[in-house]
Structures are given as structure tokens and as C-alpha cells.
Structure 1
């Protein structure tokens, strides 16, 4: 038989990203110094690549050395089905390093406790958000209403200057799951209510009843009563843990209404549940700090500040209800030490 010769290798037709990985058609990538996620339309000659924004926009041509392939989202990657949703929450080279580490810790802790099915679309983590110059204090799950009134996921904001970004990341992922996992089929959050009357989905009613019996919730409700006709009231006096100074603490109606809402209660309960069940030491320390802020160093009053998390003995029933919610969906892995 006549000898056949293979075509000469042409590296220009097989571009690699800035880390040396091949850039394949359909891969999800980020671009150096450009926010957002992009899908590769096709590699071009001369180490150039045609890409388009994942969430809509005009195609563009970029140099291959500006591209970073995100392996977990690329078509050739083998995703573990039980954690496909977690893999879709992605950081990029533009994400602040401390936030990227916090999100990674959050994902690993969650994966120890329960699975996350492929209900989460590609959800970029951002560290800057411009809404008329107002930045969320620590984090926010950003959604936008669709024409039909449903909430469409946009991104996950985590502040790079927050004091507890890892716990915040778990908290915000709790909001994501409230919306896309527990609220699936209704295009909104399972904890849809705020204030009165309270509405939560039927399979969360036992969890909400446990929350209502807890001390932090009852203290927040008492704050609401004292704030009924006022914007701000004096609540307590605390001793500053570092200086020993006595400091008065005031609470505001807007913040109390926010903390007592079912949606916020769920995210905070979820974060505490993941910290306890995963046993992650960093999350546990951050949780301890937050509990002490609410219930420590009190000179007078019922709590030091807004009781945002639960003392351990007050959380057992709530944790058991969260176990039941995720077990009913076949996702619970059980308590981890």
C-alpha cells in the first residue's frame, strides 16, 4: 500500500488559552480584564478566537492569550451530576482573590452536606456592582424580573471588603437554592413573603414554624413591635469587646424588617446549617463571631445587636427541619464531623 502522510500540525489552527489549554468550540471562557463569561464560537487562524457573551451580546474576536477556559463548564468536562449546580457558580480571573477563595470554601462545605443538581445556570461571581453608586454591604444574589414576572438569575455579588466572605458566600448560595431548587416550578423564591402575612411554600412550613419558635426570631418581632410608629429605637447597651467601652445600641425599622423576612431567615439558617454540618473550621469561627455579636457583651437589654444567627441550643430544631427538606429531595449526605 502506498504510504500516506498526515497533514502537518498547524499550531495556529489549535489555539491555547493563557494557561496552555486548548480552546475548543463551545467552551465557556473568561477574558483577561473583561467582566463576564463568554462562549467560544470557533477558533480562528493566527491565534485568534471568536467569542460571544453567554448572556447575550455581540460576538467579538480576541487574542487567544487573553482567554481562560473554565474547565467545569466546557462541553468535554465530566461533571459530577450531584454537584452540577455548584460547578455552575463560577469565578474568573477578574474575581478578587479573597472572594474566589471564599466561594471555593463555600462550595466545598456545601458539597460535604448535600448535593446540588443541575438547576443553577452559569452564575458568575462578581465583586463589583454599580446600582446608582450603591453597593450591598456584604453580598447579594442579583436577579432581574422577566416579562412574565419570574425572577431570572443574573450573578452573585460578594464584597471583597466584607469581614466574613466565606460565610457570606454560603449565605448567598442559600438564596440561590431558595430560588432555583426549592422554588423550582414557580419561578420565584420558596420563601416569597416579607412581613405579614408570611407566605412560604408548603414544604417549608415546618421549618418556618421552628424559626418562629426560636429566640432570635422572637427578639426581632419584639423589635418590630417597639418600632411600630418609629424609625429608630434604643435597644440595648453593650460593652465593646476590644476597648471595654459601654456603647448604646439602636435598631431601625428597615433593618429589622429585612432580618425578619423569611427569605433572609432562610439564607442565614442555611449558612449556619452548612457551617455546622460540614464542620468547616473557618465557617464555624465566623458563625461564632456573629452569634457573639448578637448575644455577647450585653450590659442591658435582650440582645447586643440584631440577632442574625442562632445560639447552638436554639438552632437544633431548625437544623433538623433543613435536614428533612434536603433529605426529601434525596440530596442530604448527613451530618459531617
Structure 2
């Protein structure tokens, strides 16, 4: 019997958070550049058509004036040449960020391919975006509507200028569409490299997912969970063909891709007896070695920043509640906290590979919850999500400092420099480039998508944080768990998940300095 095993390299919630983070970072910058050009275009057009507009106001011609105005606006628009090159340069950064998020280094040929395709898509979208912002028919219709309200020419011009200076949402829509398309293109490339046989469409699973209704035939809600061979396109209920959500290479119309937040994951055909979760293996191994702590934690304990429901039938399972409180107490023995928001801890059904999950709100970027599934989670997994929360909230509001560090910026830049020199990370990068590796059963393909996941800066920080807590707290269970992940076989292949004691020495010293600068140690 055939079983299907999905290995998402990017969770839906994380994908949406990154989409909205891109919108927050780039939409305002885009609008600041395009809005002045749009207003200059509008003033030029109004200046050219004002005599005709005055005549229409005086004569009060019937409905054909909209057609006349549209013709005049089109003619006047020919005199204006927008400069879209600066917009393209700003948004081209997105391609590099997407490549890094998926673990493609700058010198990787796939990175160059992704950037080239993104640039081509960007140039076409910017031209379409400008045409939408300056659509003569829309302006003519609005002028005709205002004329029907018995406004003077001066009042009409003032009203239109106010409205045309306040269409910021259109910049958000463009960035969201571009990022989603570029990220899913990179995801497909990662799945191909990892040897996945099939791909699965996943929606955001909220009330914003598009559904077919009167006036719209596009339906993505029915696409949720659709699985096809990796080299075949998805076919939507509207008949569009897409290699991935946001793809336009096969002629999908704008209604399928604009503002889309869907993503895709890889699915592997395998025997029914699926292997164990990558992070849940139990390999006998010596414990990592504890270290003496030379400081005292300052600030508030972790428990003050967690919103725990009561234990019992209506709250968390007793075992989950106990594990979260234990993890908070252990971390608080190493360092305190200051200035972080409180985050709810909830019980959730998670993906097969997940033991716990820190999730930002896709709309605001604020911490939404730490999700934990009963019967699966471990102390080490909970501490890893604590690390994600610190990375996302301690240095910047709603931004992962580790991602900035990977580009040489921010307070974690030195930590990233130390990380890059470790054998564990270098081995993972070599493994990602390898075509095959060996284990006791023979030759097996490398799961490159999982390796790319392990090499993501935010995941590296979270793993370094949990090892930091294990080593300095001296907790026996944590040290044993870390020891089992030091140069030990993980899922199917020997992925190095944690650092050896010797290698972690420099990382621990750098994290100590980071927390000292935050005022969490003394």
C-alpha cells in the first residue's frame, strides 16, 4: 500500500508571515517613489484637459462625455514618461532575500536564475502596476461622477488629487503578489533539488482565501490539499494552469495570482511504514557537557511573558502545561527577559515533523501563539520556539534579527560570523550540495529541502539558543537531548543538528555578550 509523506520546507503560517513582512518592508518604499510620479502625471493630464472639462461643466452634456474624457486623457498621458527603474532596483532586493530564505547562496547558479526570472516578472508587473494607477478609463469615470454631483472644475480637480494620493493599498498588493510568486518559485526549485515526487497546494485557510462567487470564477479554497506530480501543473477550477501558486508562465490570468498567499509543499511517495519524525529520534549518545555560569539573570522570568491557559479539560493537557512551565523555569535560570510581549501558549494539531511552533500573526506580525501538540513535544522543542520568539521580538519589533545578521547587519552579525566558521554548518552546506550520501542500508538521496530548512538563519539561531540554555542550565535531560544531536544520524541521513561542545564554545560566548547587551545578564 502506498503512503504519502509531506515534508514542508516552509509552514503555511511562516510563509504568510514572511509575505506580510515583505509587504511591511517594501510597500511603503514603493509608494513613496511611485506616488509623486502619479501625482505629476495627474496634474499634467488635468492641465491638458481642463478646457474641455470646463466646457462639459458649463454645457452639461449627457453621458458620452466619459468617452470623450477618456480619449483626451489617453492623448495627454503620452506626454508623460514615468521612471520605473528606481522602483525595479528597490524591489529587486526581494529576489536575493527569497533566495537566502531558501538557503541558496549568492554564488549558486539557481540564485542567479531566480533573480533573473524575478527581475523579468518585476519589470512586467511594474509596467502593469503603472498602467493600473494611471488608467484613463478609471479617471474619466471618476471625473464624470464628480461632474454629476454638480461640483465646479476646481472642486473636481482638488477631489481627484486627494483620491489619487491615497491608493497605498495598491503598493501592498503588488509587493504581496511579487513576493508570493518569487517565494513559491524558489520553493519549487528546492523541492526539485530534494528529489520530491509530488507537490501539494496549500492555502492560508482563512476567510480571505478567494472563492468562486458572482462576478469571479477564481477559487483557491477548492485547491487546498490538491497534489500533483512535481513536473505537472496544477489546474484550478477556473481552468488555469500553474506550476506553483503565483505562477504566470503558463498564462494564468491576474485573478489567479494577484494578492494570492497560497504556497506549496513537497510530497514523497513511500512505503506505508513511514520513518520517524526528524526531530523525535532517540539515539543513545553521551550528553553534552554543562558549563559553569558566571553571571546572574536580570529582568523578569520567562513565565511572565507566556500566557498559559489553565490545565485540564478546557486548557492545556497536564503534561504539556508541566513541560512549558519547566522550560520557562530552566531558561529563567540562565537569563531574564525585558521588553518582550506576552505570547499565548495553545494546544494545536501540528504537521507530522513539528513538535512545537512559534507563529507570528500574518496581518500584524505580532506574536500570535506558541503552538504545542500533546504527546509529541519535548523540552528541547519548546526552548527552540522560545529562541524563535527572542529572534523575532528582542532586537527588532516583528522582524527576525537572524535574517538581517545573515546579510551582515544588526546586533547578531558577529554571532552569524562565528556560526559560519563552525564545522556543523559547513557540513550541512556540503551535504546540500551533495547528490548522494550513504548509510548502513546503502545509497540514499540527500533531502535537500530539510538541509535548506536547517540552514535558515532563524532556525540556526533557535537551535543555538536551545543548546545555550542546555549547556548553561546543566539540565540533564536537555544535555542528553543535545548530545544525541551532535554528529549523530537524524532522519535517514547523518544531518548535524547541534554543535559539538568544542565548537559551541565560541557561539556560547557570543550569545552571552548578546544577552548582556540586552540587559538580561549581570
User: What TM-score, normalized to structure 2?
Assistant: 0.39
Relative distance call for 1:268 and 1:206 in structure 2 (3 A) is same
1:128 corresponds to which of 348, 353, 360 = 348
* Corresponding residue of 2:336: 115
The residue correspondences of 1:213-224 to structure 2 (distance < 5 A) are 213-224=421-432
The 8 Å contact of residues 190 and 200 in structure 1, kept in 2 or not, is answered as no
The 8 Å contact of residues 141 and 157 in structure 1, kept in 2 or not, is answered as yes
The 8 Å contact of residues 348 and 373 in structure 2, kept in 1 or not, is answered as yes
* Corresponding residue of 2:480: 285
Deviation at 1:175, TM superposition (A): 0.3
1:177 corresponds to which of 381, 390, 400 = 390
* Corresponding residue of 2:299: 82
Looking at structure 2, the residues matched to 332 and 248 of structure 1 have their Cα atoms a distance apart, in angstroms, of: 48
**Higher CA-based Rg:** 2
* Corresponding residue of 1:51: none
2:504 corresponds to which of 290, 311, 315 = 315
Residue 269 in 1 paired to residue 464 in 2?
yes
Deviation at 1:189, TM superposition (A): 1.1
The 8 Å contact of residues 391 and 402 in structure 2, kept in 1 or not, is answered as yes
Deviation at 1:85, TM superposition (A): 5.2
* Corresponding residue of 2:327: 106
Residue 153 in 1 paired to residue 367 in 2?
yes
* SS of aligned partner of 1:182: coil
More strand by proportion, 1 or 2? 1
Residue 140 in 1 paired to residue 361 in 2?
no
Residue 166 in 1 paired to residue 379 in 2?
yes
Deviation at 1:207, TM superposition (A): 0.6
* SS of aligned partner of 2:336: coil
Unmatched runs of 5 consecutive residues or more in structure 1: 1-79, 227-232, 239-245, 296-302
Per-residue CA distance 1:149-171 (angstroms, 9 max, x = gap): x5221100123233x61011111
Relative distance call for 1:84 and 1:288 in structure 2 (3 A) is closer
1:225 corresponds to which of 426, 429, 433 = 433
Relative distance call for 1:313 and 1:249 in structure 2 (3 A) is farther
Runs (4+) of structure 1 exceeding 6 A deviation are none
Looking at structure 2, the residues matched to 328 and 271 of structure 1 have their Cα atoms a distance apart, in angstroms, of: 19
Looking at structure 2, the residues matched to 193 and 236 of structure 1 have their Cα atoms a distance apart, in angstroms, of: 35
Higher relative contact order (CA 8 A, sep 6+): 2
Relative distance call for 1:284 and 1:206 in structure 2 (3 A) is same
Deviation at 1:113, TM superposition (A): 0.9
The 8 Å contact of residues 139 and 158 in structure 1, kept in 2 or not, is answered as yes
The 8 Å contact of residues 219 and 307 in structure 1, kept in 2 or not, is answered as yes
Deviation at 1:193, TM superposition (A): 5.9
Looking at structure 2, the residues matched to 179 and 84 of structure 1 have their Cα atoms a distance apart, in angstroms, of: 18
Residue 306 in 1 paired to residue 495 in 2?
yes
Looking at structure 2, the residues matched to 112 and 279 of structure 1 have their Cα atoms a distance apart, in angstroms, of: 10
Looking at structure 1, the residues matched to 478 and 308 of structure 2 have their Cα atoms a distance apart, in angstroms, of: 20
2:515 corresponds to which of 321, 326, 332 = 326
Deviation at 1:179, TM superposition (A): 0.8
* Corresponding residue of 2:318: 97
Deviation at 1:248, TM superposition (A): 5.3
Deviation at 1:129, TM superposition (A): 4.0
* SS of aligned partner of 1:82: coil
* SS of aligned partner of 2:433: helix
More helix by proportion, 1 or 2? 2
Looking at structure 1, the residues matched to 465 and 298 of structure 2 have their Cα atoms a distance apart, in angstroms, of: 22
Instruction: Provide the alpha-carbon RMSD of the alignment.
Output: 2.6
* SS of aligned partner of 1:293: coil
Looking at structure 2, the residues matched to 210 and 249 of structure 1 have their Cα atoms a distance apart, in angstroms, of: 31
Looking at structure 1, the residues matched to 358 and 426 of structure 2 have their Cα atoms a distance apart, in angstroms, of: 26
2:447 corresponds to which of 229, 234, 252 = 252
Looking at structure 1, the residues matched to 366 and 390 of structure 2 have their Cα atoms a distance apart, in angstroms, of: 13
Looking at structure 2, the residues matched to 248 and 159 of structure 1 have their Cα atoms a distance apart, in angstroms, of: 34
Relative distance call for 1:193 and 1:248 in structure 2 (3 A) is farther
Looking at structure 2, the residues matched to 262 and 173 of structure 1 have their Cα atoms a distance apart, in angstroms, of: 15
